[in-house]
Amino acid sequence: MSSNATTRTGASSASRTLTSSTIGSVIEWYDFTIYGTAAALIFNQLFFSDISPAAGTLAAFGTFAAGFIARPLGGFVAGHYGDRLGRKATLVTTLTLMGGSTTLIGLLPTYQQIGLASPALLVLLRLVQGFAVGGEWGGAVLMAVEHAPDGKRGRYGAWPQTGVSAGLLLGTGVFSIVSLLPEPQLISWGWRIPFLVSIVLAVVGLYIRFRITESESFAAAIESGGPPRRPLVEVLRTHPKQLLIAIGVRFAEGGNYYVFTVFILTYLTQQLDVPRQAGLTGVMLGAALNIVALPLWGAVSDRLGRRPVFIGGALFMAAYAWPFFWLVDTRSPALIALALAIALAVPHGAVFAPIAAFYTELFEPHVRYSGVSIGYQIGSVLLGGFTPLLATSLILWSGGASWSVAALVAAGALIAAASMFAAPETFRRSLFATRNAPQQRSRV
Q: What is the pLDDT of residues 23-52, one digit of tens each?
A: 888 887 788 778 877 877 788 788 876 666
Q: Which are the contacts of 177, defined by CB distance < 8 A and separation ≥ 6?
A: none
Which band of pLDDT confidence, cut at 50, 70 and 90, is reported for residue 13?
Answer: low
| Exposed e or buried b per residue across 18-37, where buried means at least 16 C-beta atoms within 10 angstroms of its C-beta | bebbbbbbbbbbbbbbbbbb
CB 267 within 8 A of CB 402: yes
Distance CA 441, CA 241 (A): 18
Helix H or strand E segment including 182: none
Instruction: Tell me if 156 sits within 8 A of 145, measured CB to CB.
Output: yes
CA distances, 398 to each of 32, 393, 413 (Å): 30, 9, 21
Measure the CA–CA gap between 105 and 129, rounded to whole angstroms.
Answer: 10
- pTM above threshold 0.85: no
pLDDT band at residue 12, thresholds of 50, 70 and 90?
Answer: low
Distances from the Cα of 150 to the Cα of 304, 309, 318, 427, angstroms: 15, 19, 33, 10
> Alpha-carbon distance 179 to 190, whole Å?
8
Position 435 scores a pLDDT of 47
Q: With bands split at pLDDT 50, 70 and 90, how would you rate the model's confidence at 339?
A: very high
CA nearest to 201, candidates 371, 4, 28: 28
The pLDDT tens digits of the residues spanning 143-194 come to 889 888 889 999 999 999 898 888 878 887 888 888 888 888 888 888 899 9
